[in-house]
Structure 1
Amino acid sequence: MAEAPPLWEPEPTLNSSPSSSTEPSPRPKPRYRDRFQNGMPTDVLEWLKQNKPADFAELMDLRKSLYTRHTKGKYRIRLAGLTSIGEQKMLLTGPTSAVLILSDKARHFLLRTLCRLRRARRWQPIRYR
């Protein structure tokens, strides 16, 4: 019987090194919360770790900017259009970084997290005029 040609290349030996110029490097896996590759981050908790309010006045500025969707103090809000289902996107920029808020649920989640932060730091209660 005739010998068939191999279906694939033989495995390289341990002594030979693969040439990095011919083979593309593998791309890293996207993180769990990276919704858009090479885009703005959407991880609200990670953003809050980097941009925590230092005092009660900064906390109120952040809350007011999230409620009114306008810039207040150190926290800048820029409206970024609509999502595919019609919800309003916004870009929230803090002192060190920015985050893309894609839904009202994400915005409310950030507001609830700020309320927990206020209680954990034992700041004064929020009073509305």
Structure 2
Amino acid sequence: MADAPPLWDSEPDPNPFPPTPSQQQKPEYRDRFRNGFPTDVLEWLKQNEPGDFAELMDLRKSLYARRTTGKYRIRLAGLSSIGEQKMLLTGPASAVLILSDKARHFLLRTLCRLRRARRWQPIRYRR
């Protein structure tokens, strides 16, 4: 029995089905909804940046009132797991899923910084 030939040339593969690339990669934080809409607000703003002050005000009104204004369309997308309202913000180039009020306020603050950087007029509210 010591001179018997081996049954196979090498050790058998413990996993006959190799993992696909999608199983090997962990989703990034921004890609939590892989088959859905992106959630990266800054990337969305780079693609859908307001061209003038009127577009900036339309985007701000959309975010504050949670409804469509001008080029920016808001569609409510239900509630998140902690009970906050989700919304889908669609601009001229793409859409972004806003998951919380914190993300919405972050976008509003970023728009305020954009207004200052472009030296547009101050925002005046009518009473």
In which range does the TM-score fall when normalised by the shorter chain? 0.7 to 0.9
Cα distance in 1 for residues equivalent to 2:71 and 2:107: 16
Question: How far apart are the structure 1 equivalents of 2:35 and 2:109?
Answer: 28
The aligned residue for residue 26 of structure 1 is 21
Give, in whole Å, the separation in 2 of the partners of 1:123 and 1:24.
53
Q: Secondary structure of the equivalent of 1:73?
A: coil
The residue number in structure 1 matching 2:45 is: 48
Equivalenced residues, count: 117
1:46-95 Cα shifts (integer Å, max 9, x gaps): 00000000000000000000000010000000001001111000000000
Residue 74 of structure 2 aligns with which residue? 77
* TM-fit CA distance, 1:25: 4.2
Structure 1, gaps ≥5 residues long: 10-21
Q: Does 1:8 align with 2:12?
A: yes
List structure 1 runs of 4+ shifted beyond 6 angstroms. none
Residue 41 of structure 2 aligns with an amino acid whose one-letter code is V
Q: Where in structure 2 are there 5+ consecutive unaligned residues?
A: none
Give the structure-2-normalised TM-score. Answer: 0.82
Distance in 2 between residues matched to 1:122 and 1:61, nearest whole Å: 18
Normalised TM-score (structure 1) = 0.81
Tell whether 2:96 aligns with 1:99. Answer: yes
Task: Indicate which of 94, 107, 110 corresponds to 1:113.
Answer: 110
Shift of the 66–36 alpha-carbon distance from structure 1 to 2, 3 Å rule, reads: same
Question: Structure 2: which amino acid aligns with 1:100?
Answer: L
Q: What is the RMSD of the two structures over their aligned residues, measured on CA atoms? A: 2.3
Identity across aligned pairs (percent)? Answer: 81
CA distance in 2, matches of 1:99, 1:73: 17
